[in-house]
Structure 1
């Protein structure tokens, strides 16, 4: 699995090659945590690991702009997920994997582009405080949540939401990421 991580300063389009102002105070390496969570999610669900995911860490304004553009919602959110291929349910993943493999394969790496994730660093900080757990746990939770969306999971119904919640918690538990870590 490959995670390509881009960290954006507060102003959209102003990229940095080292963790930007939004991530400097995190007590963890976002790239390492994202990789561990992504890999564990795939392994727990018995999915192929020869995938690539693009992760952009941004602020309120960057994610608000994408939320408006892609969801027609003019407000910031905590996380957005953009699957590499259309799935109506996670059960469709294996068929879609074979169907889209060729057109979604990176010719340089041979990996399949699973999709893109955008995380709002400001929400990581505020939600961690609100829920009484670490920023690392909040970040890991959002990555797990997005990985599940990339694999076809959704939370449109109460049953689907409970299913996703259990899977997210299983991933974090398997990595030893607790409310205090």
Structure 2
């Protein structure tokens, strides 16, 4: 397996099967993106209140959101890249709001699992350097997400 995934369900709402599906989808995405073997990431499933705290603390936005990614490979201003002994590639952290995923699944008319999958892939693509700050970047990222989800078999209900 390409990824070493550390999953935590702080909500205790997800089944083992749902967590397993998310992990398999992340592995599938890593294969598509040819991520280095042995790369590490964490996925934490949280409440709206918890993701709002994180959003406020790290993004200065005092509101809940659906997914937040913290890429550990991004170089911040004044940071120096350390090159040395072979170490695992640590991609970062993905935090997903379970209540928002449920709300959005209903709003978009597809399954909760499809929405959870979308948010997981979205988060991982951010860790891999994709973004949607410009229209052209958004088109690239969202096309990639849709392709990965369709290839995996998590299509939106209107796409069947």
TM range (shorter): 0.7 to 0.9
**TM, length-normalised to structure 1:** 0.76
What is the RMSD computed on CA atoms of the aligned residues?
2.3
Contact kept? 1:37, 1:144, Cα under 8 Å = yes
In the alignment, which of 44, 55, 70 is matched to residue 82 of structure 1? 70
1:32 is displaced (CA, Å) by 1.4
1:7 is displaced (CA, Å) by 1.0
Separation in 2, partners of 1:102, 1:35: 30
- CA gap 1:31/1:103 in 2 versus in 1, 3 angstroms: farther
Tell whether 2:32 aligns with 1:44: yes
Contact kept? 2:36, 2:89, Cα under 8 Å = no
Contact kept? 1:42, 1:49, Cα under 8 Å = no
Stretches of structure 1 that go unaligned for 5 or more consecutive residues are 10-19, 89-98, 106-110
**TM, length-normalised to structure 2:** 0.86
Give the number of aligned pairs: 152
Q: Hey, what does 1:23 align to over in structure 2?
A: 14
Q: Hey, what does 2:111 align to over in structure 1?
A: 134
Stretches of 4+ moved more than 3 A in 1?
A: 99-105
Q: Hey, what does 1:108 align to over in structure 2?
A: none
Give 3-state SS (helix, strand or coil) of 2:96's partner: strand
Q: Hey, what does 2:54 align to over in structure 1?
A: 66
In the alignment, which of 151, 154, 163 is matched to residue 128 of structure 2? 151
- CA gap 1:78/1:169 in 2 versus in 1, 3 angstroms: same
Give 3-state SS (helix, strand or coil) of 2:34's partner: coil
